[in-house]
Amino acid sequence: MSTESWLKVGLPAFPLGFTVFGAWLYWGENPLALLPPGIAFWGLGVLYYLFTHLYIPNRRIPLILTIGAAILWLVASITSHNLAKFLTSPEYSGVVSLLLNRDFGFAYVCASLGCIIGLVNFYRYEPLIVAQSQADREQINQEE
C-alpha cells in the first residue's frame, strides 16, 4: 500500500485521536464511552471512500456493506450513550463491572465489526483504486 492510500484511510481516524487526547489526556475523563461510535464511523468512512472511488458492476455488496456498517455505527452510538450513563452511575466500580455491562459488549462488538469491515475491504479494493488512478494519470500525461 502506498503512503497516499494510508493517508486517505487514516484521515477519518483523526476524531478518534482527538477523543483520546481531549477526553482522556487533557480533561482526565474516561474515554471508553466515546470511542465506539468513532471506531464504527471510521469503518463506515473507509467504505464510503472505497465505494465512491470504485465501481463494481452488477453487485449489491457495496450497498449492503455500507448499510450494514451504518447500522453498526448506530447501535454503537446508542449503546455508548447508555455506557456513558453507566460510567457515571454508582453501579460502576471498576474494570470488572465494566466488562460485565451489556452496553459495553454491544458498543465494542459493533464498533469492532464496523472497523473490521472497513479494513478488510480496504485491503481488498484499494489496490484496484490505486491501479485505476495510475492508469488515469498515465492517460492524462499521454494526452499532454
Confidence grade of residue 1 (pLDDT, cut at 50, 70, 90): low
* Mean pLDDT of all residues in 34-59: 87
Q: What is the mean pLDDT of residues 127-141?
A: 88
User: With bands split at pLDDT 50, 70 and 90, how would you rate the model's confidence at 11?
Assistant: confident
| Amino acid 110: pLDDT | 96
When divided into structural domains, the chain yields a total of 1
Q: Which residues constitute the domain of residue 114?
A: 3-143
Measured distance CA(6)–CA(1) in Å, rounded: 7
pLDDT over 90 (residue 67): yes
Q: Is the pTM of this model over 0.85?
A: no
Indicate if the alpha-carbon torsion angle 50, 52, 53, 55 is positive or negative: positive
Question: How many Å is the Cα radius of gyration of the chain?
Answer: 19
Average pLDDT over residues 105-117: 95
Tell whether the model's pLDDT for residue 76 goes beyond 90: yes
Q: How far is CA 99 from the centre of its chain?
A: 22
Question: What pLDDT does 26 receive?
Answer: 79
- Over 90: is that where the pLDDT of 81 sits? yes
Mean pLDDT of 39-54: 89
Is a pLDDT exceeding 70 seen at residue 40?
A: yes
- What's the mean pLDDT when you consider all of the chain? 87
Instruction: Look at residues 126, 116, 124 and name the one whose alpha carbon lies nearest to residue 8.
Output: 126
Assigned C-alpha cell, 91: 453501579
Would you tell me how many other CB atoms lie within 10 Å of the CB of residue 143? 6
Q: In angstroms, rounded to a whole number, what is the distance separating the alpha carbons of residues 70 and 52? A: 16
Per-residue pLDDT, 96: 92
